[in-house]
Amino acid sequence: MVKNFHRVLGRCITLLFLIPSLLFSLVSGALCEEPKMGGTLKFIPHANLKVLDPIWTTAYITRNHGYMIYDTLFALDKDLKIQPQMVDTWQVSSDGLQYTFTLREGLKFHDGSPVTSEDVIASLKRWGQRDALGKMLMMFTGRLEAVDAKTFRLELKEPFGLVLDALAKPSSNVPFIMPARIAATPADEQIKEFIGSGPFKFVKEEWEPGHRVVYVRNPDYIPRPEPPSFGAGGKRVYVDRVEWFYIPDPATAGAALEAGEIDYWERFPVDFLSRLEKNPDIQILIDPSRVVQFWLRPNHLHPPFDNPKARQALVWMANQETYMQAAIGDPRIWKTCPAYFMCGSPWETSAGSDPQMGKDLERARKLLQEAGYDGRPVVLMDPTDQNDIHIVTLVTQQLLTQIGVKVDLQAMDWSTLVSRRAEKKPPQEGGWNLFSTWWQFGDVFNPVGNPGIVGDCEKAWFGWYCSKKMEELRTEWARTQDPEKRKRLAEEIQKLAYEEVPYVLLGQATVPDAYRKHVKGVVPFTSPVFWNVWLDKK
């Protein structure tokens, strides 16, 4: 699977028509320079950090926070090969049913306590209740137990070839390791302590929600000896502090970056691309690991979208070209795509996708009528501080109106939406009907990892898609080792997805970052990370 993932990302670059001038060999050049210690890096994140539990939510802003303060057992390198991170050594039995792992020396949490097997087991069990791939791993697991303080063992009930892939999962939900007492928090509740063993410490006393988040170097962190590579290798910290400043107005954020008041701007609006490209003091990062799939997610619990015909109406309504032209604009970095598992992946298929690529507003209107839509307002959540998703939401509002839906557009910031989407209450009582989001390639490119098609009802990702048939197909996909059979199953899964519509595809694109050229050593990764980064202000 990892080899396929590597090939996939390369194909995605071509498919998205990324121009060579936008891609940079960032790490190799930086490693030839002598890093400088000290300083404060000022960073504009893509959203306000409001939820701090990276297992409770899949929100990327929380995942990014997780990478600052937590560490992982394994990670992917730049060639997308699985490498040990917190793990020192491991063995796999000849029948593939038993994995034994030993932690490396010197691992300590920020409170000074050692990282033990007990912490790892508690963390993995909690993660395995929330994450799509984690749930599948736990379903195949017979026993997860400590051998001693530094060694733990995972025994499978039957062969499962994705054990290390799951433990090296680079994006939401990431299997971060927490102290056992914190990981004992029920998976459907948020943790209240934020102590990891990673390269930075979270300074809770300086956290100002809606304005600033502060991290400081963890002096007790012992990096691996290897050079940094994607999510793997040595996480060496050179800066004293990293400060996140939430600046929702793009014009203000752009001006701060160009004036040198800010060092790094994550996921800036594409409207700024041509301007920032021309600035000799600014570096643009467009990385293939950040190819994304835009979604429209319906709430399957409440009318009208508890009825599959109403969800099918959304597919016939949605026109990807309209969405992408409005939200992304620059044709170099977006494309239409009918594949639930991304164009360019080994599981790409057009099976069942005629509705997706054949916009028909009249048919959408008729399907809504057949679903019994009674004219009640449909609550559409609108994250106004996320420029691309905000525009996508406005397009949805317009299209819904055209097919006869009364829309209750409710504006909020992204962090509020992330909290609100967990509400299962009826829309008229504080719940919701629809919202848009996007997911990075690595989270959705196969039937096991894609959280949007998990159909385990009340335990499913927000929107609570419920499908026994889908779960049977996903499990069969995970069990089989035959690539051809997996391909056929992926086609069956997509056909079912177009019938039951867990979510609607709105297009595929990539999102850029920008930073001042005095920021050195940036490691391209699914998340902006600040290990290996130093400041060379002259």
Confidence check: pLDDT of 24 > 70:
no
Let me know: does 491 contact 340? Beta carbons within 8 Å: no
- DSSP class of 359: -
| Mean pLDDT across 493-515 | 96
Note the pLDDT of residue 453: 97
pLDDT confidence bin for 537, thresholds 50/70/90: confident
Q: pLDDT confidence of 32, banded at 50, 70, 90?
A: low
- What is the structure's pLDDT at 289? 79
Neighbours of 3 (CB within 10 A): 11
What is residue 358's predicted lDDT score, i.e. its pLDDT? Answer: 77
pLDDT above 70 as % of the chain: 94
Which of 73, 232, 224 lies closest to 154, judged by CA?
Answer: 73
pLDDT at 536 over 80: yes
Least confident window among 6-10, 67-71, 339-343:
6-10
What is the residue type of 194? F
pLDDT exceeds 60 at position 521: yes
pLDDT, tens digit (0-9, with 9 covering 90-100), for 432-453: 999 999 999 989 999 999 999 9
The mean pLDDT value of the chain amounts to 93
Check residues 267 and 27 and name the one with the higher pLDDT: 267
In this prediction, residues 100-112 reach a mean pLDDT of 97
* Per-residue pLDDT tens digits for 191-213: 999 999 999 999 999 999 999 99
Looking at residue 511, its pLDDT comes to 86
Level-2 CATH architecture, domain 33-48+199-286+514-538: 3-Layer(aba) Sandwich (3.40)
User: Per-residue pLDDT for 481 more than 90?
Assistant: no
d(CA 284, CA 358): 36
User: In 408-506, where does DSSP find H-type helix?
Assistant: 414-420, 441-444, 468-479, 483-500
Q: Write down the domain spans for the chain.
A: 33-48+199-286+514-538, 70-186, 291-510
Mean pLDDT of 510-538: 94
Q: How many CB atoms lie within 10 A of CB 449?
A: 23
With a cut of 90, say whether residue 8 has pLDDT above it.
Answer: no
d(CA 137, CA 46): 31
Position 27 pLDDT exceeds 80: no
SS3 per-residue string spanning 15-37: HCCCCHHHCCCHHHHHHCCCCCC
CA dihedral 427, 430, 431, 436 (to 10 degrees): 100
**Band of pLDDT at residue 23, cut at 50, 70 and 90:** very low
Q: What is the pLDDT of residues 415-427, one digit of tens each?
A: 999 999 999 999 9
The CATH class for the domain spanning 291-510 reads alpha beta
CA–CA gap between residue 53 and residue 63 (Å, rounded)? 8
Contacts of 7 (CB under 8 A, 6+ apart): 346
Q: Residue 50: what pLDDT? A: 93
Q: When comparing pLDDT for 64 and 13, which is higher?
A: 64
Contacts of 186 (CB under 8 A, 6+ apart): none
Q: What contacts 52, CB < 8 A, 6 or more positions away?
A: 62, 65, 190, 191, 194, 202
DSSP string computed for 231-288: TBS------SEEEEE----HHHHHHHHHTTS-SEE-S--GGGHHHHHT-TTEEEE--G
Closest CA to 124 of 143, 105, 107: 143
B/e letters for 268-286, b = 16+ CB within 10 Å, e = fewer, are bbbebbeebeeeeebbbbb
Is the N-terminal amide bond of 218 cis, ω within 30° of 0? no
Integer distance in angstroms from the first to the last C-alpha of the chain?
45
Domain formed by 70-186, architecture: Alpha-Beta Complex (3.90)
Q: Give the pLDDT confidence score for residue 332 in this predicted structure.
A: 85
Give pLDDT, residue 412: 96
Structural contact between residues 410 and 435, judged by C-beta atoms closer than 8 angstroms: no
pLDDT at 285: 92
pLDDT digits (tens, 9 = 90+) for 448-471: 999 999 999 999 999 999 999 999
Average pLDDT in the 338-358 region?
92
Question: Per mean pLDDT, which range of 61-70, 136-145, 245-254, 355-364 is the poorest?
Answer: 355-364
Compute the C-alpha angle 505/509/513, nearest 5°: 140
Burial class (CB in 10 A: 0-12, 13-18, 19+), 158: exposed
Q: What is the pLDDT of residue 402?
A: 97
Concatenated DSSP letters of 81-117: -EEESSEEEEEE-TTS-EEEEEEPTT-B-TTSPBP-H
Average confidence (pLDDT) over 377-399: 97
